[in-house]
Amino acid sequence: MIGEGPGYYHELEKLITDGKIAGPMVHDARIAALCIHHGVRAFWTADRDFSRFATLKTHNPLLAA
């Protein structure tokens, strides 16, 4: 189980500011910040919006390798 810990909000603020994130994308930034904060190496998702977060590597499991 991962959650917000010390340093998480700084990571979230950085993603929102650097990516000029607003509206519903803030929720995606929150998920990305949690993953980055906890050292997730690859986030598996078919949602292309996560490609906006350069520091989070994504993998689409629906595409052929």
pLDDT tier at 65, thresholds 50, 70, 90: low
Residue 42's SS3 state is coil
Q: From CA 51, how far away is CA 23, in angstroms rounded? A: 17
Domains of the chain, by residue range, sit at 8-59
C-alpha torsion sign, points 41, 61, 55, 15? negative
Split at pLDDT 50, 70, 90, the class of 1 is confident
Give the residues across from 58 on adjacent strands. Answer: 43
* 30-55 residue pLDDT tens: 999 999 999 999 999 999 999 999 99
Encode pLDDT of 4-25 as tens digits.
999 999 999 999 999 999 999 9
Q: Tens of pLDDT along 53-64? A: 999 999 999 997
